[in-house]
Structure formats: C-alpha cells, structure tokens
Structure 1
Amino acid sequence: MDAPDYEFSQGPLRLLATAVQQDKKVLVSLRNTHKLVASVKAFDKHCNMVLENVKEFWYDGEDGNKALRERYTAKMFLRGDSVSLLVSFRRYVTTTPGTDTYKGYLKYPIDKVKNPTPIVSDDDLYKRISSIPLENYRNFIIVAHVDHGKSTLSDRLLELTGVVNPTIDNKQVLDKLEVERERGITVKAQTVSMIYHYKGEDYMIHLVDSPGHVDFRLEVIRSYASCQGALLLVDASEGIKAQTVANFYIAYSMDLKLLPVINKIDLDTADIQKAEEQIEETFELDRDDIVHVSAKTGLNVNYILPKIIESIPPPPPEKYNRDAPLRSQIVDCWYDPYVGVIMLVNVVDGELKKGDKIEFISTGEKHEVKEVGVMYPDRRALPKLVSGQVAYVIPGFKDANKVFVGDTIKLVGTDVETLEGFEEPKPMVFVGAFPAEGTEFKKMEESLQHLFLNDRSVVFQRTTSNALGQGWKLGFLGSLHASIFKERLEKEHGKNLIITAPTVPYKVTFKGGREEIINNPSDFPDGNKKSGVVDIAEPIVEALMTFPGEYTGPVMKLCEINRGIQKDLQFLSNGQTLMRCILPTAQLIDDFVGKLKGATRGYASLDYEDGGYMSSDVCKLELLVNGGNVDALATIVHKSQVNKMGREMAERLVKFLSVQQYDVIVQAAANGKIVARETIRARRKDVLAKLHAADQSRRKKLLAKQKAGKKNLQAGSQGIAHTRVAAEACQSFLRID
C-alpha cells in the first residue's frame, strides 16, 4: 500500500488510513502495523456515504502476550469535495476481562481524495493496440495444480499493467462465475488482454487463467491452442503435485515455451530450495529461469512480464497473416441475456470489424457482426480485430445451437482452409437429470441450452423415467464437473434438478461381435444367458498420485480395495512418492479422491487420463417396490459388491416410503436373484372393535373381507413405481446423495 493519508495513535494502537475515490465510490482501507483491519466501502447517496461493511478481527498485542479483540465501526460523510471518516473502536484484553477497555474516535478529513490512474478510454485503447505489431504480441497461459495461486497471480498482473486499479477488492478478478468465487476454484478458462510498456515499446499480452482441477482439463487444452507459452506455477510450500506434472506434459507436447514460477514464497512453510530441486529434477527446466514470487503480496511479480516478453515467442508469422482473408477459430462462447451469443475467437488471419458478414464453415450459417472487442478484463468494444488477437465477437443471434467451439469463421464469399478443430469431449460420468417440477421441462431445457453453450464438455440427450418423468441423460468429464454444472444451473438460472446416481459408460459385446456402449443402467442387459452377452468391459483410468513416502503402504492398500492395479512406483529425492495405477472409473467417481486424502491426511494429489476399457464382472442392481421396478434407482456394480450395496440401498429407500394399508416390500435384485429385502408392515385397522364377542360368523366375514381388500390393494400397488408416492420417494432418495 502507498504511504497513508492519515496516521492515528492511541495507547498501544496505531492506525494507518488510506482513501481512494472511484467515480462516486470511496474505498477506505484501515491497517494496523501488520494487518488489514477493515475495508469500508461506501456509496454516494444524497451527499452522504452509506456504510457497506464492517469488519471484526483478532490480532496479538504489541507485547505478544495479550490476546486482543477489536471491533471497528465506521461512518463516512461526503460534503462537496471533502470526505470525513468517523471510526469508533473498542479494544478488549481477553486474557484479563474487564481491564484496558476503551473507545476511540478517528475523524479523518480528506481535502482531496487520492485519484488512481484512470482506466484507459476505448479510443485510447484502440490507438495503442492498433500500433502494436504482431512481433510484439505474447499469448500465454497460467497452469498449475489446484489452489497454487493462478487467479491471484492474474490479479497482480492485471494491476501491474493498469487493466484494473490496485485495490484490496481485487480478488479473483477473472473468476466471473458465482460458483467460482464461492468455492475458490477456477472452473472456466478466462482470457484478458493487457498492454505492457517495456524498453520503449508497447506489447500486447493475452493472458489465460486456466482451471486447475482435472475435470476441467479440456478447458486448458483448448486454451493452449491460442498460446505460445505457459507459466508453470508451483506452490513453494506444497511443491510439485499430480496435476502440475499432467499440465506440464500437455504443454510440452504442444511445444509451448515453459517458464517456471515458484509462488507463495512469503509463507512460513515455504521451502524454495526443495521446490527448485523438484522442478529441475522432474521437468529438467533450468533453475536459473525460475522466478520466485508471492502473488498475494505482489513480491517480485514485476519480474514476470519482462521474462514473458524475452522468453515466449510471438505468434509465428507463417501461421498468422494479417494480409490474408479472415480466418478465425472459436475458442469459447457464452450467453448474454441482452446481446445473445458471445464468442471468444482466436484471429489467425486477416481482420474482422463490426458490420462484416461472416460464415461458420461447419454449418454454413451466415450472420452480420454486431460488435467486436477485447476482454479488458470485461468487454471493451473496438473498431476492428486483427491477426494475433484473442478477442470477442457478438454475431447477433440468440440460438445457442448455431455455434460450435472449434469451428472456423470466415468472411462470406471468401475461400479459406478450415482450421484444425478441438478434441471432442469424452464423458466419463453420466447422470440422469430431471426437473423437480414436471411442468418446468421446457423452461429447464432452455436454461440447459444456455449452459451447454458455455460448457461444450457436457453431452446430453433426452430420456424418460417411469418414476421421474421426462428428463435428460447428461455426460460429464468427472464428478466435480457434474456438481459444478448443477450448482451453476441453480444459482445462475434458478432451476432445481433431481440428479440420479452417477454411472460410467460400459462396453457390452453380444454374440456375433456387435458392440454397444451403454451409459444408462435401465438399458443394461440382464445377467442371463438369453441376453446373448459375450463380454462386459468397464472404463478405466491411468491414475497418477503423489504423496509423502510414509503413506505408501496405506495408498497401496486403498488402490487394492478399489480394484486398482499398480503400474509404476517412484521414490523422488524430496521424500515424495509418485505412483501410477490402473483404476476402474466407477471406483474413481465413488469419492476416491476423498478416500485418498483421508489415507494421507490431506497430503496426496491425483491426476488421471483415460485408459480405455477392461473386461469386468459387473451387473445391474435394481430396486423393486412390491415387484415394480423403480428404474431411476438402478445402478451398475461389481459382483463382489452386490450384496452390500443391495442391502444399503433397500434400507435407505424404506425410509422414504410411507406406511400403507398393505405390506410395502422393497427388494434389491441382481442377475435375476433377490439379494436384499425390507418390509414396511401394513397399517393395522381393528375391524372387530364394535362386534360382540359371541358373533363368530360376523367376525370371520369381516376378517375375510379385510384380507381380500388388502390383497386387492397390494395387487394394485404392483405399479407403485409409477405413482406420485414413489416419485417423491425417489427424489428424497437421490437428494441425500
């Protein structure tokens, strides 16, 4: 932070205050000698500043022995060009309650509030960009393991280049989804353009902040296509993790220039030398090229951009030609309720401007461009785009089905070669999705289409369930991917989905050699000879795990329990163990990562890639209610787990079924056999209560009538899986997962 505008001391307490004005907003930061105390954000309302938030915090006293608690409240007043801040605080010595307690008031007059460097105007931005030659372009991506500081480093680079003003509010600037900010992880790769002045010249720098979790690797791979280099970020306290290794090899295979960066060097647990040794040993990168930074404090971040300019090459002129006809590739797209579809494109050849008529090569669709511009970090409209830029285009339509990621865009009437597309997503996890309210189907499908536009990794098709009605079969790249998608639908569109248990696609071989991929348990063949099944193969992954050496035994045991096959085991010089094993995908999605963390006290990391199929002894496990199959609850399990899973599922389902006037029988069935049974006894009604004890004939008649009535009711309940009662039970059963 800059030198404070005001300093205030009372007793042992010393406060430093700084105010920054942004339009009609004033941000005041209060600090003590070593910590941020409070951030008071206020808005101009009838010439008064209205308090937005008050912070409460703990810190140690100056003598280090007293535990202190301070509560700050603040009011701000704006009169003309001056601002007054009134801060009241109460200090408590918690080790000796009732002593050393006082109030203090700070009046903070500012005759002229600090004005930060204004954000560049659209005209000035375009003038600077248009004067930058292709050889001064640098396109790079930041890749790392989860929570190693990619988004925080992006924030510091945006501040350093003047894209955003440096304030304490700059946290995850590029994480624009609500779910990203809540979970603290990056889900969507985001691009931002920066202009950096270096050695007398302007440089156009395109930064891509990528997800770190393996479920979103497809986002990373797509982003690599428009980059020539990558920052390989490593946490100084954690060192190299599984996804660091995986991201390195992907970037290396795509011939990207790699710059190693060690982050979080300000932590007490940071071991910089150990991290350097890991980078040098594992990736064979020169130790002299490593930059040591703290993205949180900004320490040494200013050395990164010069390193990027000097090390990462510009877009190759043999592939990027500004004099050729337009040829651009769609990298990403999303939906805006006001302007419709927005595309993020990599302009390879030529130029593109507002009013141009463009054509999508794969579909032949023709549209007039409504707006073009760069992400800075939000949309900034420009007169035109040129070769080498990664920018946005608004084509002027709202139908999400008209655009495909990886498609090539050209000008109408020109003949250009199609650019190589992206790898098609291969779903690893499938779930059934049904609207919580059946009448919401059409509106829900519209919301899903908007999300599919922004996440082309999702594969879907319509389906129908006897218990839950119309819905969709959705394919995802992993369990976290499915969870994030559901959460985005709820938060961004206000829609509620009922999600069935996740399953994986199985390859079934029938007599005659016919093969079929089945991802819906309801379609899975029965285990009898009449089905004509020759072989069933389940998908597998090649998992890469890193963990401290002392946990080698527990991890090996965990893999064995989950039907894993060890493939390779390496003991690194830094005390870490690197293990590769073949693991069934069904076991991976059954919270294998959580079990791995538990076995290693949270120190393990995991990455995986598709390993194809392997023959397996699996079967369909169904739940029956009074003989009626509840299709939404069917699942595929290994035969060694049938009895255990069947018993658990039957015991859970009975909790959500109500007592009837007849016995409700819940059964778990596999391979034509009943493996578990639970019974909800009938509600008893005493039909003999009003009879005289001596009237035996009447007694027998009433009991026989009651028995026949219950029998008829129970016979009618064979279709209970089709009733509202069963549907509600299914929803409750699935929700607890």
Structure 2
Amino acid sequence: MSMDLSNIRNFSIIAHIDHGKSTLADRMLEVTNTVEKRKMKEQFLDSMELERERGITIKMQPARMDYEMGGKKYILNLIDTPGHIDFSYEVSRALRAVEGSILLVDATQGVQAQTLTTLEMAKKIGMVIIPVLSKVDSPLARIDEVKKELSRLVDCDEDDIIEASGKTGEGVEEILKSIIEKIPSPKEILEETDSFRALVFDFKYSTHRGIIVYVRVLDGKVSKNENLIFKAIGEKFNSLEVGIFCPDEKPKEFLGAGEIGYIVTGIKKPGVASVGDTITLSRKPLESLSGYMTPEPVVWASIFPEDSDEFDLLKQSLDRLKLTDSSFSYEEEKSNSLGRGFRCGFLGMLHLEIITERLKREFDLDLVITHPSITYEVEYKNGKKETIYSPSLFPDDGTVARIIEPWANVNIITPSEYMGALMKTFFDHEAEIGDSKDFGNNRISIDILMPLRELMRNFFDEIKSLSSGFASLSYKMNDHRDSDVVRLDILVADEVITAFSRVVSRRRAQEEADKIVEKLYKILPRQMFVMKVQVKAMGRILASKKISAMKKDVTAHMYGGDITRKMKLREKQKKGKKKMKDRGKVNISQDIFLKMMKSE
C-alpha cells in the first residue's frame, strides 16, 4: 500500500455555474501550500483558456493537497466537477470516485436547479455532503434566507452550514477540517492485493505521451510497465508512467487503493478512453464498476470549413479533439451548397458551442455551422423505420406514417412573481405542466415535460430573460413520444440551401417560414437579377419574397445621342438579366450562414 488509507480523503465540489467553485478551490490550494503564491493565478484548476474566459469549468482538473490536523498528516484529493447540465454524466462518474462532496451555494443567488440534480445523484450513492455558503462577503448576500433553504435541502441544522468566501479566504480552514472529520476514508472493495482495478473519471491527450487517464484506484495497486486493459472496449496497453496531481503531474512509484492519480497509456487513437470505464490488469481482469454508459448525443449540427481546401485540417482537428472528449461523435457528409464537412453529435448546446470554439481557437479554422437539430425516429407508410438526425435527410410529409421524438423532464426554480410570464412561455414551447412546490424565500420549484426540440428553441434564454435572470433550469431526458413536425426547405433563386433546412412543429410552420423569409430578405445582398427567397413545406410554398435586382445605368456614358440607341442598350440589359435569372446561382457567404444560425 502507498500509505494508511485512513489518512486519505477524496472529495468533489458540487456547485452551479458562477457560484464560486473555482475561486474556493484556489484558496484551498493556497492554504495547503499546494501551489506557491507566486505561481498562483485565478481559476487555477480550470486548465483551458476557454474556461477562464467564460468563467465555467468544462474539464475536471484534480488536485492533491497535503494538510496537517491534530498532529496527523492527511492527503486531500479534490475533483473539481463541471457545473453545466450538458456534462451531468461526467459529474455522475466523478462522484463515484470520491466519498464526499462540498455542496457550495452562492449566498447572493440561493440554490439553483442544476445543483439539485447533482445533489440527487450524490444522495443516491450515499455520499457525505458538507453544506457551504459562498460569497458571504458580498453586500448582496442573503445569508439567513439561503441558510434556511440549504438546511431544508440537506436536512441539517443551520449551524452546520459553513460560511465561506473564496475572495477573502474566510471559512476555508473550517472546510478543510470538516472534510477530514466528516468524509470517510476510502475502502478497498475486493481487498485483492495481487490485482488492480480503477475508475476512469477523466482523461486528456498529450502529443508525446498519448492518452493520459485520470483514475481513482478501487482495488490493489498499479506501477509503471504493467499490462492493463480498458474493460469497455477491450483495448490493452502498457502503463508508461503513474503519478499524482500536485496539481501538476508528478510521477510516483505506484498508485495504491483509495488514491487518485493518472496513468500514461501511450495510446494515440481516438475512441479508446471514455469517462466511467474501468481499467484492470489484463492477466487477471476484475469486474467493471457498474453504471458505465456511453453518453448519447442529443444535439446534432453539421460543421463545414469555410475554405474547402481545409477539409483535411478539419478532419485532423476533430480526430484530435476526440482524443480528449469521447462524448462527441462525427461522420463525414457532403452538401451541395457547402461541400464536404462533418455531421457532429453533442451532449447539448453548450457542448456544441465549446467544441466549435475550440476548433476555431486551437486549430485556427474558419467554420460554417448549420442549424442544430435532434434525433427523430421515423416510421414510413411502407413499414420501413429510420433514425434521422439531419434536417436535410428528413422525409417528405406524404411518405411518413409516424414520427417519434425525445422529450425532456425540466425543473425550473423561479421567484414566484415571474410565474405568470413563464406560464405563457411554457405553453408556447408545448410544455406539459407537472408538480410545483414552494421552495421558500418566495421561490417556486416547478416540473414540466416538453419536446427536446422546443427546449433547444431559445427556451433557456427566454426563461432567463422573463425572470430577469433569477430563474434556473435543469433537465434530464425523459421518454419518446409521437410528434407532429415538418421539414422546412429554404430556396434561394430556386435552389434548396440544405444547410438552412430545419424541422419545426406543424402548428408553427407558417410563423417560422415568415420569419425566415423576412430575415433572408434583410441579410442577402442584391444580385444583378431579381432573386426569389422561398420557404417550402408540406408540398407547397409557405412564404415568398423577391429581392429586386441591382440597378446599373447602362446609358450613363452616353451624353445626348440617339434615343433608340439607349433603348437598345436597356433592352439588351433586360435580356441579360433574364438570362442571369434563369441560370443564376447565388453564392451564400459564410457571413450569411452565421447570421442565419443566430437566434431569430
């Protein structure tokens, strides 16, 4: 064994976005002298530049801290989990790697919906919860109110809730002491000393060392040069190095049961490592830890390079990203208007945004991204069944017998005065109202069921806007139901622009068609010929508008002269424009695509 297991404490921080999680982690690193003050920077554990910029944690970055209490030395292993809905599976697996969690709630905002979802996961696996109130130094802090909320939620006394501030460092020592006193030390499950088993809770990619997996050792121990196997896909590899996080990687002779550390695999191909998988010895494999799953994409979008010559670079970039994020998928596709690109699947809208932002930033790519869509199950009149995840492949209305779409279970916590305005939005988005309960402090928690496509249709933004930013939202996939939707085809100069195609509710088809035509009318540049913009669905044109031709005075160079000469030139121009209109092909620039993809 590496050391006495009673000295180890493994914990995570459960918090909503912007509740001070990363700042609290910074203070912990300082108090335990894990990071020298001169090397300290804000949001130290948020390793991506993108995370520091957005102030959200995307990738889980672990840290091992040494702390002395009562003359005894302890090892505290922190896993800083993502706080966004899209990454809830990563959070659920990270929770399996620890014995306890700090439940961090912003004293200025109170408990948020996503925090409830993660707390439920933690309670299900019997985890010890330490409630902490953050940002208590803020003049906007509602300490007494939020303490009441939190004590009801965790079922504890208000005196048990620690008041803390990541900014001033208040309460940090008390939190560290609570971790040691309340969170149990890890225990080996099988107590087999000659074998090894570990849970993968994250991984990253290194150009020189391949995939580096972040693990919690469950049983036995692992050293350098061991023959190991990923249980999910059966891939074997040799451990090139094992070590711990200080928070930078520090090699170690071996990792023992209860410890959190990393294993360098040397593997340089995508799709091998995945969060939640089990690693064990290939010569004496142990059972996988239960609950492993492959997260299914819920949002799809096509990504094309603006410059068709950069297709290979885009493919290499996606391959590279797949090495660090196994939860998104992609396959090659071809579009008449945009050329070769990829149809990509994501865990949600933020996940899509992060991947596309990383492609642009890390690989310097200019991209065209199509309108996001979801997966539909289609049953045809001839009995055939098909899964459709691209609007351009969605079948014509007349051939379909039945369409099935995913629904989501949504929980919203909002101040009660906004309920009236929110109710209208719920109905606009085809929601079914479920249970509601008083959440204290004039707040209401309400459950609704709604189609996933409606959840994606600016629902988050509308809820935030109508509640002045005070409402919070969390969702999980529910079931599949029959759907009444149609495909909208957008035609410019009589040519279908497949990248603009979208699937909408039949009852909103006309409204959407009018909006699209109006928007294109405003943003499309005029041509030398009259250009038609149309939206077609259900075998007919729903909306149409003509963009008038640019006028060019072909007689401007003639001063005076014969009127018949001028008439001949104008007639020639007219014929030329008709020919251009008949043959006319409009090149849609990337700028137009970007404007169209933005929320209407």
Does residue 354 of structure 1 match 2:224?
A: yes
Letter matched to residue 383 of structure 1: E
Q: How far did residue 297 of structure 1 move? A: 0.9
Q: How far did residue 501 of structure 1 move? A: 1.2
TM-score, with structure 1 as normaliser: 0.76
For the 8 Å contact 2:410–2:474, the answer to whether it is kept is yes
Alignment of 1:676-695 (within 5 A): 676-683=543-550, 692=562
After superposition, what is the alpha-carbon deviation per residue over 1:446-505, rounded to whole angstroms, capped at 9, x for unaligned? 221222222222122222111111111112222122112211222223223211111122
Q: How far did residue 712 of structure 1 move? A: 4.2
Aligned to 2:434: 567
Does residue 260 of structure 1 match 2:127?
A: no
Aligned to 2:315: 445
Alpha carbons of 1:294 and 1:703: their partners in 2 closer, same or farther (altered >3 Å)? closer
Aligned to 2:494: 627
Aligned to 1:525: 395
Letter matched to residue 155 of structure 2: E
Greater relative contact order, per chain length (Cα 8 Å cut-off, separation 6+): 2
Q: How far did residue 178 of structure 1 move? A: 0.6
For residues 279 and 685 of structure 1, the distance between their equivalents in structure 2, rounded to whole angstroms, comes to 70
Does residue 144 of structure 1 match 2:144?
A: no
Alignment of 1:339-488 (within 5 A): 339-420=209-290, 422-488=292-358
Does residue 726 of structure 1 match 2:588?
A: yes
For residues 688 and 496 of structure 1, the distance between their equivalents in structure 2, rounded to whole angstroms, comes to 42
Q: How far did residue 514 of structure 1 move? A: 4.6
Q: How far did residue 661 of structure 1 move? A: 4.0
Q: How far did residue 404 of structure 1 move? A: 3.3
RMSD: 2.6
For the 8 Å contact 2:269–2:323, the answer to whether it is kept is no
For the 8 Å contact 1:593–1:606, the answer to whether it is kept is yes
For the 8 Å contact 1:657–1:729, the answer to whether it is kept is no
Q: How far did residue 708 of structure 1 move? A: 5.8
1:194 to 65, 68, 73: 65
2:77 to 197, 206, 217: 206
Letter matched to residue 225 of structure 2: G
Aligned residue for 1:335, secondary structure, equals strand
For residues 567 and 137 of structure 2, the distance between their equivalents in structure 1, rounded to whole angstroms, comes to 87
Q: How far did residue 704 of structure 1 move? A: 7.7
Aligned to 1:239: 110
Aligned to 1:715: 582
Q: How far did residue 636 of structure 1 move? A: 0.9
For the 8 Å contact 1:543–1:609, the answer to whether it is kept is yes
For the 8 Å contact 1:617–1:639, the answer to whether it is kept is yes
Aligned residue for 1:266, secondary structure, equals coil
1:504 to 374, 393, 415: 374
Letter matched to residue 454 of structure 1: T
Aligned residue for 2:397, secondary structure, equals coil
Alpha carbons of 1:568 and 1:436: their partners in 2 closer, same or farther (altered >3 Å)? same
Aligned residue for 1:674, secondary structure, equals strand
- Structure 1 unaligned residues grouped into runs of 5+: 1-129
For residues 733 and 557 of structure 1, the distance between their equivalents in structure 2, rounded to whole angstroms, comes to 28
Alpha carbons of 1:699 and 1:167: their partners in 2 closer, same or farther (altered >3 Å)? closer
For residues 658 and 145 of structure 1, the distance between their equivalents in structure 2, rounded to whole angstroms, comes to 44
Q: Tell me the number of residue pairs that the alignment of Structure 1 and Structure 2 aligns.
A: 596
For the 8 Å contact 1:341–1:394, the answer to whether it is kept is yes
Alpha carbons of 1:269 and 1:363: their partners in 2 closer, same or farther (altered >3 Å)? closer
Q: How far did residue 312 of structure 1 move? A: 1.4
Letter matched to residue 163 of structure 2: H
Q: How far did residue 168 of structure 1 move? A: 9.5
Does residue 581 of structure 1 match 2:437?
A: no
Does residue 132 of structure 1 match 2:3?
A: yes
Alpha carbons of 1:343 and 1:168: their partners in 2 closer, same or farther (altered >3 Å)? closer
2:403 to 518, 528, 536: 536
For the 8 Å contact 2:409–2:476, the answer to whether it is kept is yes
Q: How far did residue 177 of structure 1 move? A: 0.6
Aligned residue for 1:155, secondary structure, equals helix
Aligned to 2:92: 221
Q: How far did residue 576 of structure 1 move? A: 1.0
Aligned to 1:643: 510
Alignment of 1:324-339 (within 5 A): 324-339=194-209
For residues 197 and 401 of structure 2, the distance between their equivalents in structure 1, rounded to whole angstroms, comes to 49
Q: How far did residue 169 of structure 1 move? A: 4.3
Moved more, 273-282 or 702-711: 702-711
Aligned to 2:178: 307
Letter matched to residue 665 of structure 1: K
Does residue 555 of structure 1 match 2:422?
A: yes
Aligned to 1:605: 472
For the 8 Å contact 1:324–1:349, the answer to whether it is kept is no
Larger Rg, first or second structure (1 or 2): 1
For residues 513 and 308 of structure 1, the distance between their equivalents in structure 2, rounded to whole angstroms, comes to 59
Q: How far did residue 263 of structure 1 move? A: 1.6
Letter matched to residue 279 of structure 1: L
For the 8 Å contact 1:334–1:450, the answer to whether it is kept is no
TM-score, with structure 2 as normaliser: 0.92
For residues 706 and 297 of structure 1, the distance between their equivalents in structure 2, rounded to whole angstroms, comes to 74
Alpha carbons of 1:242 and 1:685: their partners in 2 closer, same or farther (altered >3 Å)? closer
Q: How far did residue 656 of structure 1 move? A: 5.0
Q: How far did residue 221 of structure 1 move? A: 1.1
For residues 482 and 225 of structure 1, the distance between their equivalents in structure 2, rounded to whole angstroms, comes to 26
Q: How far did residue 699 of structure 1 move? A: 6.9
Q: How far did residue 268 of structure 1 move? A: 2.3
For the 8 Å contact 1:540–1:611, the answer to whether it is kept is yes
For residues 278 and 656 of structure 1, the distance between their equivalents in structure 2, rounded to whole angstroms, comes to 49
Q: How far did residue 181 of structure 1 move? A: 0.4
After superposition, what is the alpha-carbon deviation per residue over 1:498-551, rounded to whole angstroms, capped at 9, x for unaligned? 1111112223233366543322001111122xx1x2222332212111111222
For residues 658 and 265 of structure 1, the distance between their equivalents in structure 2, rounded to whole angstroms, comes to 54
Moved more, 392-401 or 470-479: 392-401
Alpha carbons of 1:137 and 1:582: their partners in 2 closer, same or farther (altered >3 Å)? same
For the 8 Å contact 2:92–2:118, the answer to whether it is kept is no
Alpha carbons of 1:388 and 1:679: their partners in 2 closer, same or farther (altered >3 Å)? same
Alpha carbons of 1:133 and 1:564: their partners in 2 closer, same or farther (altered >3 Å)? same
Letter matched to residue 204 of structure 1: I
Q: How far did residue 728 of structure 1 move? A: 4.7
Alpha carbons of 1:675 and 1:414: their partners in 2 closer, same or farther (altered >3 Å)? same
After superposition, what is the alpha-carbon deviation per residue over 1:627-652, rounded to whole angstroms, capped at 9, x for unaligned? 22110110111223222221222233
Q: How far did residue 186 of structure 1 move? A: 1.0
Does residue 674 of structure 1 match 2:541?
A: yes
Letter matched to residue 193 of structure 1: R
After superposition, what is the alpha-carbon deviation per residue over 1:176-218, rounded to whole angstroms, capped at 9, x for unaligned? 1111101111112221112222233222221111121212222
After superposition, what is the alpha-carbon deviation per residue over 1:356-387, rounded to whole angstroms, capped at 9, x for unaligned? 23333444433332221111111111122112
After superposition, what is the alpha-carbon deviation per residue over 1:392-414, rounded to whole angstroms, capped at 9, x for unaligned? 11112322344333333333433
After superposition, what is the alpha-carbon deviation per residue over 1:142-166, rounded to whole angstroms, capped at 9, x for unaligned? 1012211111111111122221124
